Amino acid sequence: MPTVNLGDIITTTLRSRTGMLADNVTKNNALLARLNTKGRIKPITGGSQILQELAYAEMANAMYYSGYQPIDLTPQKTIDSATFDIKQAAVGVTISGLEELKNSGEEQIIDLLEARIEVAEDTMKNLISVGIYSDGTGYGGKEIGGLQYLISKTPSVGTVGGFDRGQASNVFWQNLAVSFGAVTTGSASLGLTAGADTIQHAMNYTYMNLIRGMDKPDLIVADNNYYLYFLESLQSLQRIQDSNDLGRLGFETLKYLQADVVLDGGFGTGYGAPSSAPLASNASIFGPSCPTSTMYFLNTKYLFYRPHAKRNMVVDERERVSVNQDAEARLILFAGNLTMSNASLQGVLFA
């Protein structure tokens, strides 16, 4: 039997699958799926950081005038750029010399690789999906800056995209953060506790404070707790799943005004989950997506997924042979980040 070129088999097998992996990553996450349908996935091609242009102020020289009255032509600075670091991720697919011997023949090696690549693909999808909800501090600050970073529960604290949110001049870069206990009617605080009988009032309060003309949230992402409360609040109305792009992709969706409400919790994160419910050992990868008791009110017009064009779930063509082990490896690589161009129209509702 001719000798099988293991390096070529690993590379070509990976290459044939990673072409679909980037698309599958977006379909694995409700937010990325919506950004994809809205054309908000914008690959980058270079640079030391990701620049996201934003319009942070209106033109101060706008005016009514009469006849020959001079019109104010004072130059206005209304556009700036937020900067986001390029974050990197990788999953390795390895095969040892002993495994090569045991799986002699091209077909058998491919069968072994297929199984491992499937696991690697699922791992990468979950890694990115969890990162989309992160605060960017995971893995020593190397993680994607996700929703907890962009849409903070303490929006006047910290630096996001290069802007210090604590500065008075950067109030425009603060998102809306609503605690259940702070929900009001008029000027009186209701002191609400989250539940099926209170969730809609809290959602109404949050939603109405994020409307600017035609701009309004189009996607609400909820964990198990809040999705359950919303679901129970609708069941007397026999509300059914909305038939939209997210529903067709398999996400559990409900309709709230003009926004889709999506469950992005699920396995191992459940409300009142039984003590015997299985949990992944490495919860940093397979743990909950949307944080517990949280709803994000997203205007996806101003959110962007920015993978690098040359590192969007691609296989590294370089051979990696261990100098002190009988093994070969190939990497599936990602580089990019989640960015935002308007914070004031994004909101979070939390306990």
What is the predicted pLDDT for the residue at 143?
Answer: 93
> What's the rounded Cα separation, in Å, for the pair 203 and 222?
11
> What's the rounded Cα separation, in Å, for the pair 127 and 108?
29
Which is more confident, 194 or 25? 194
What is the predicted pLDDT for the residue at 270?
Answer: 44
pLDDT band at residue 129 under the 50/70/90 scheme:
confident
> Domains in the chain, start-ordered, CATH in brackets?
6-55+79-350 (3.90.1690)
Cβ-based burial of 245 (10 A; exposed 0-12, middle 13-18, buried ≥19)? middle
- Residues whose CB falls within 8 Å of the CB of residue 93, separated by 6 or more in sequence, listed in order: 10, 14, 113, 116, 117, 120, 329, 330, 331, 332
**Residue 315, Cβ neighbours under 10 Å: how many?**
22
pLDDT band at residue 342 under the 50/70/90 scheme:
very high
| 3-state helix/strand/coil string of 52-108 | EEEECCCCCCCCCCCCCCCCCCCCCCCEEEEEEECEEEEEEEEEEHHHHHHCCCHHH
In the block, residue with structure tokens 């909101």: 347
Q: With left for phi above 0 and alpha for psi between -120 and 50, is residue 158 left, alpha or beta?
A: left
What is the predicted pLDDT for the residue at 295?
Answer: 94
Query: What is the amino acid identity at position 129?
Result: S
pLDDT band at residue 188 under the 50/70/90 scheme:
low
Q: Residue 286: helix, strand or coil by DSSP? A: helix
Q: Does the pTM exceed 0.85?
A: no
